[in-house]
Amino acid sequence: MSIATAPRARALPLPIGLSAPARYLRTVKFLLPFIILVGIWWAVELAGNFPERVLVSPARVWDTLIVLSEHGVLAEYISTSLSMVGFATLISLAIGVPVGFVVGSNRYAARSLEGFLRFLQGVSGIAWLPLVIIWCGFTHTTTLVVVIYTLIVPIIFNTMVGVRAVPEYYALALRSLGASRLRLITNVYLPGALPSIVVGVRLGMGYGWRALIAAEMLVRQGGLGDLIFGARTSGQIDRIFVGMILIGTLYVIVDRLLIQPIENLTVARWGVLRK
């Protein structure tokens, strides 16, 4: 349960200056495995002659996707989930980063909190869900609490690690030149800890997104988790497929197009990531 190290996928090389055919080839290479997968799915569906409650064809899933999005239902489910993650991330950052800073600046506090954070992470947010449901009912607040709980632990932890990784003599050097404490934070500790904080956010989003889906399944107040779990009770397997594809695609988009670029930027600007 190492908090600081994420299994980091290797970044794809940037397609700068690729000629048109090369870019075309890249697209094909990217899509080919998915095309094969859908082909297999379709073949199995045709060969097996499954009842509609068990397996439907890709075409059917596509139709459902179109119908759902035309009615605006899909947009509502998606916006519920995304705004929940967005809110939770903002709140976790607003609380987690300052806490991480305070704790990281004292080695006793850092040591004491480390074990506690590991314990909290061992009890996943979703395990607290039944208790939070008793406290807050089947509401958005419940989901939000669970997601924040999940998100905030890696953010505090990585902020703490990032602050502790900044060599002390940087701060000492600036202080001897007459810098104020605030100046130290904005010019030394924040830039120094930023790469680690971004890693924490990325990890937290990975945990948080799953916790969100799980919480939505049980709280049933909208969101993509509600979509797929509700579809199960009514036996609409096409909706489950639509939901799963959306959950995967949205996560990849958020992770690859939003967080990874920020991570690359901070690392490029403020130095090498410490493992």
List of residues contacting other proteins (CB under 8 A): 1-2, 5, 7, 9-10, 12, 29-34, 37, 53-54, 108, 111-116, 118-124, 126-131, 133-135, 207, 210-211, 213-214, 217-218, 228-229, 231-232, 235, 237, 240-241, 243-244, 247-249, 251-252, 255-256, 274-275
CA–CA separation, 95 and 150 (whole Å): 13
> Which are the contacts of 138, defined by CB distance < 8 A and separation ≥ 6?
219, 220, 221
CA–CA separation, 84 and 78 (whole Å): 10
Alpha helices (runs of H) in 177-236, residue ranges in sequence order: 181-184, 190-219, 224-233
Of 77, 74, 81, 80, nearest to 211 (Cα)? Answer: 81
Quote the least distance from Cβ 184 to other proteins, whole Å.
25
Q: Which of 148/184 has CB closer to other proteins?
A: 148
Q: Which of 114/174 has CB closer to other proteins?
A: 114
Q: Which of 194/240 has CB closer to other proteins?
A: 240
User: Cβ distance 242 to 164 under 8 Å?
Assistant: no
State how far the alpha carbon of 230 is from the alpha carbons of 216, 224, 235, in Å: 10, 10, 9
Quote the least distance from Cβ 247 to other proteins, whole Å.
5
CA–CA separation, 231 and 32 (whole Å): 30
Instruction: For 163, list phi and psi in degrees, rounded to 5.
Output: -65, -40
User: Cβ distance 211 to 125 under 8 Å?
Assistant: yes
Quote the least distance from Cβ 1 to other proteins, whole Å.
3
Quote the least distance from Cβ 10 to other proteins, whole Å.
8
Number of residues that this document lists for the chain: 275
Q: Which of 113/184 has CB closer to other proteins?
A: 113
Quote the least distance from Cβ 157 to other proteins, whole Å.
13
Q: Which of 98/173 has CB closer to other proteins?
A: 98
How many C-beta atoms surround the C-beta of residue 153 within 10 A?
Answer: 26
Q: Which residue has the tokens 């490029």?
A: 268
Q: Which of 136/185 has CB closer to other proteins?
A: 136
Quote the least distance from Cβ 79 to other proteins, whole Å.
19
